[in-house]
Structure formats: C-alpha cells, structure tokens
Amino acid sequence: MFGFKRKPQRNRSEFETLTLEHMDALYGAALRLTRSPKDAEDLVQDTFLKAFRFFDSFEKGTNIKAWLFKIQTNTFINKYRRKVKEREVADTPAEDVVLDRFVSSEQVRALQDPEGDFFGKLLSDEVVEALDQVPVDFRMVVILADIQGFSYKEIAEIVGCPVGTVMSRLFRGRRILQKHLYEYAIQEGIISPEVDEAGDAIDLDSYRERRKKTA
Amino acid sequence: MECREVERLADLSLDGEVSAGEQAELEAHLMRCAECRARTTTLRWMHDSIRAKLQDSVDGLEPPAGLKDRICTELRVEGGAAPGTAWRAALPLSMALAVVAILSWSRSHAPSLDPEETVDRHTQNMMPEVRARGGEQEVQRYIQKQLGHPVELPQPDDRNLRLVGARVSHLDNADAVHLLYDHRGARISVFANPKRGNMAMPASFSRRLVEGRPYLVGSHRGYNVVATERDDVVYRFVSDVDGAELVRIAASVQP
C-alpha cells in the first residue's frame, strides 16, 4: 500500500481575507467571458473552490488577483469554453474581415467631424454588447487588459501564452470591437460611411528587427 | 520608422508597453507625419472612450446575492473535511493507475458519469504532459508536482498495455489524472478521479458483473466507455477498442 502526506491545514480565514475582495472583479470578467449570468456564477464559484484547494501553492506576497484570474481563466478554458464557442458559432457572424488598417482614413474623417463624437456618446451597454460579439479568444485578452488593467506580462501568465500572442490577440480583439461599434454607428445613422482606400499591411516585427540591427 | 509600422506600436504605446527608444521614435514620426498623427489621435480617442465605457460597465457591478454565501459555505465544507473523506491513495490495483487528486472535493454536485465529457477528453487527443519514457518514475514525479502528493504506481500485469504518459485533466467538476495507454496500437484513455457518491448511470449504459465486480458499460459517439470504482476512486476507460475487450482490460486492473 502506498499513501501520501497530508497537506498542512489550510487556513480558511486567511484565504477569505485575501480573496473575497476580488469576487466582484472575477464575476465582472466571468460575465463578459461567458455572457451568461448563470455560467458566470458557476465559474466564479468553481474558481474560489479551486483556489482554496490550491491555496498552499500560492506564494505569499505575490499578486493574488492575477493568481485568481489565472485559475478562473484555466477553469473557463477547461470547462466552459467549448460551450461558449458553440453558442458563438450559432449566433454571431463569422469574423472573416481582414483588419489590415488599424484606423481607416474613413474612420479618421468620420470621427473627426465635430458632430461625430460617437465613441464618447456611446452607452456602456452598447459597448458591452459589441464586446460580447468579439470571439472568445480575443475577448478574453481585451477583458483582462481593458477592464482589469493587467499588463501584457500578467496576461501572458494568466492565459498561459507568450507575450507576443497577447499583443496580437489584443490588437485584433480591439480592432474587431472598434469595427463593430463603427458599423453600429453607421447603421444607426450617427455617422456616414465614406469610401476607404486600401491600406498597407502592418508590420511590427520587421520594424523591431530593423531597429535592432541599426541600434 | 515607416507609416505602416506606426499602428502596432501606437497600440502598444497606449498600454505603456513600448521601450523608451521606441516611444521616442514613434513621437518623432508623429511630429513629421500628419496622417499618422490623425490616425493615432483617433485611435487613442476610440481606445480611451471604449475602455472608459467598459470599466463603467463593471463599476459597481455586484455578483448576485447569495453567491458569496454559497462560496463561503462550500469553503467551510472543504476546510472542515474530515481525514477519512480525503482521497485515499492506497489503491490495490495491479496496474499503473495514478492516484489522483486528493485535493478533496465538493460534495455539493451530484456525481455523474457524463459520457459526453469523458469521450470529449479522450478525443481532444491532448498530448501527455509527461511521457513514461524510461519507466513510471517521471509520471510519478509529474503527478506529485501537479497534485502535491507522492503517488506510487503499481506495475500493469497486462503486457500489451503500455503506459505512454499522463496529464492532469478535469472531469465531473474535479481534477482527474488522465493516463494514456497504448494497447497494441490502440489509444486508451484512463481517467481517475475521486468518487463523490453513487454515480448516475446514463440511460444507454448497462451494468455488467465481472468476477463479482460491477462495471458500467456503454458507448458514446462511437467510443466505448467502461467505468468502475475502487476505494473511493472512479476509473473510466475510453477507447475505440472493442467493448468486451475494454471490459477485460478494465477488469485486469483488479487487485
């Protein structure tokens, strides 16, 4: 027979003191991630239980909020993402547009119009509705960066991918979100579309490569 | 710097994620180039507006009443688990079954044998996080590292059954060890996780007795699934090998 050493007694009150204050933030992120209040509640509950079970592995003095978000994100990926993806395939249009210009000349013109303070006038609900249409892999990093204010490095750690992947997902996720809102504005007649010229391909890597050589 | 390089860098600059040198070069370009200046101004303005609205949307947002109480109740149940209810790692199995997770578990969910979830984990065809190259020691070390418990792996007596590797997975709301086996070229997944009460048997499954022990046997999405329990641990076998053969393999791990 074989056995294992019992874990040291975990301190529940210490756990609660450290973690419960982050419940609102975790729930807010879970709601935008799952887009379902019921799933969000389940996800947050799973996250706290899991965090408590792994509490011994939390290194005191490190960022507990990022640690909790890492657990929540992992739990989401393992348990809910498939469900959410299926729902998204069913009810959102395919994101097949190549977003090759970060801000089109058309947008610059339309949005510089003094009458067109469109993004400033947007309601929170309208922005949230547009965010919910962003595919989940991109939405996840937008939530972590723009709602929770995590750094690229923290997001990479939370999501478990390289910083470069975080940058490109964030870039693309934001462009999709801006595009949805821009199209919403046109649809609502708030701004009028103009014909745009084709844009050049974006190229961060080659810039940094060249910079390194000349440095 | 060229215009087409500005946009990615401008985005990074919004987040304060550019180096000082890059920031200086970006600003120098924007001084010279009216078009990029207009674009980045619009970008910053869109970005700031959207970010502010997104933050408004969660500002003061509170989880539904009762969630906090529910979590605290569950934590009390978890924290107060009596020693006897923790995962028993003593498994008299004659096969390399890793003992799992031990992190004790929630008793609030009814256990279920969800064939969809089980088959799904098998068909995801995830790579093992540790390979049993030289033997089982590496698997042992990995499981101990992942779960925080030393685990001893007995040897399989079926010579055709070869342990390929293992990874930590998640089944039925609990951590599970996913062991990957090769049986004459066929892939067999064995999942082990804590038993949390009597399993609900899917309608399409049947109960079979082999040497006095019960096995739940069925198939789902073309895969055969066999489930059995030993000492508070539930084992599930999933493969496309023949159902009767899979039961025989499952039975071969009896003490």
Predicted ipTM of the assembly = 0.79
B204 touches chain A (CB under 8 A): no
Best residue in A39, A44, A102 for a mutation probing chain B (most B CBs within 10 Å) = A102
User: What pLDDT, in 10s, does the model give residues B44-79?
Assistant: 888 888 999 999 888 888 888 889 988 988 888 776
Q: What is the CATH number of the domain that holds A114?
A: 1.10.10.10
CA distance A86 to chain B (A): 14
Total residues found in chain A within this entry = 215
Same domain, A84 and A135: no
Best residue in A19, A23, A119 for a mutation probing chain B (most B CBs within 10 Å) = A119
Same domain, B40 and B106: no
**For residues B36 and B93, which has the higher predicted lDDT (pLDDT)?**
B36
Residue A206 in domain: no
Same domain, A84 and A109: no
Residue A211 in domain: no
A25 touches chain B (CB under 8 A): yes
Q: Are B5 and A203 in contact (CB under 8 A)?
A: yes
- State how many domains chain A has: 2
Those residues whose C-beta lies under 8 Å from the C-beta of residue B172, and which sit 6 or more positions away, are B109, B111, B112, B113, B114, B117, B193, B196, B234
pLDDT > 60? residue B128:
yes
B164 touches chain A (CB under 8 A): no
Best residue in A53, A122, A163, A183 for a mutation probing chain B (most B CBs within 10 Å) = A53
Same domain, A138 and A189: yes
Residue B63 in domain: no
- State how many domains chain B has: 2
Same domain, A74 and A55: yes
Which segments of A143-203 does DSSP mark as H helices, in order?
152-159, 163-187
- At residue B184, the pLDDT reads 84
Is B233 buried (19+), middle (13-18) or exposed (0-12) by CB count in 10 A?
A: buried
Same domain, B228 and B173: yes
B-contacting residues of A 59-88, CB under 8 Å? Answer: 78-79, 82
**For residues B31 and B198, which has the higher predicted lDDT (pLDDT)?**
B31
| End position of a domain, from candidates A74, A91, A108 | A91
Same domain, A56 and A120: no
Confidence class for position B222, pLDDT limits 50, 70, 90: confident
Q: Average model confidence (pLDDT) for chain B?
A: 76
- At residue A130, the pLDDT reads 93
Is A142 buried (19+), middle (13-18) or exposed (0-12) by CB count in 10 A?
A: buried
Which amino acid is residue B114, in one-letter code?
D
Confidence class for position A22, pLDDT limits 50, 70, 90: very high
pLDDT > 80? residue B23:
yes
Q: Hey, which residues does B219 pair with through a beta bridge?
A: B224
Contact A152 B5 (CB under 8 A): no
Instruction: Report chain B residues whose CB lies below 8 A from the CB of A23.
Output: 63, 67-68, 71
Name which of A27, A46, A145 is nearest B15 (Cβ-Cβ).
A145
Q: What is the CATH number of the domain that holds B176?
A: 3.30.200.100
Distance CA A175, CA A134 (A): 10
Name which of B42, B67, B106 is nearest A41 (Cβ-Cβ).
B67
Residue A147 in domain: yes
Coil, strand or helix: which one is A204?
helix
Domain residues for the domain of B236 are 68-251
Best residue in A207, A211, A212, A213 for a mutation probing chain B (most B CBs within 10 Å) = A207
Domain residues for the domain of A84 are 9-91
Name which of A7, A79, A127 is nearest B54 (Cβ-Cβ).
A127
Pairing state between β B161-171 and B223-230: unpaired
pLDDT > 70? residue B254:
no
**Of all residues in chain A, what percent are helix, strand and coil, respectively (each to 5)?**
70, 0, 30
Contact B103 A53 (CB under 8 A): yes
Confidence class for position B32, pLDDT limits 50, 70, 90: very high
Q: What is the CATH number of the domain that holds A82?
A: 1.10.1740.10
CA–centroid distance for A26 within its chain: 13
Instruction: Report chain B residues whose CB lies below 8 A from the CB of A1.
Output: 90, 92
Confidence class for position B220, pLDDT limits 50, 70, 90: confident
| End position of a domain, from candidates B39, B58, B77 | B58
